[in-house]
Amino acid sequence: MTDDYNIDTAFPEEAKAQLVELARTEYTPRQVAVIRSGLDEELVQAIIQVLTTMHETEAGAAALEPFQTTRFDEFPEGIETATARMRAMMELVQDIQLP
Are 33 and 75 contacting, i.e. CB atoms less than 8 angstroms apart?
A: no
Q: In this predicted model, what pLDDT tens digit does every residue of 32-66 receive, in sequence order? A: 888 899 999 999 999 999 999 999 999 999 999 99
Which residue from 31, 35, 33, 34 is spatially nearest to 69, judged by alpha carbons? Answer: 31
The pTM of the full predicted model, rounded to 2 decimals, is 0.61
C-alpha 61/C-alpha 12 separation (Å) is: 22
Q: Give the pLDDT band of residue 1 (cuts 50, 70, 90).
A: low
Q: Give the Cα separation of 68 and 39 in Å (integer).
A: 27
Tell me the pLDDT of the chain averaged across its residues.
Answer: 87
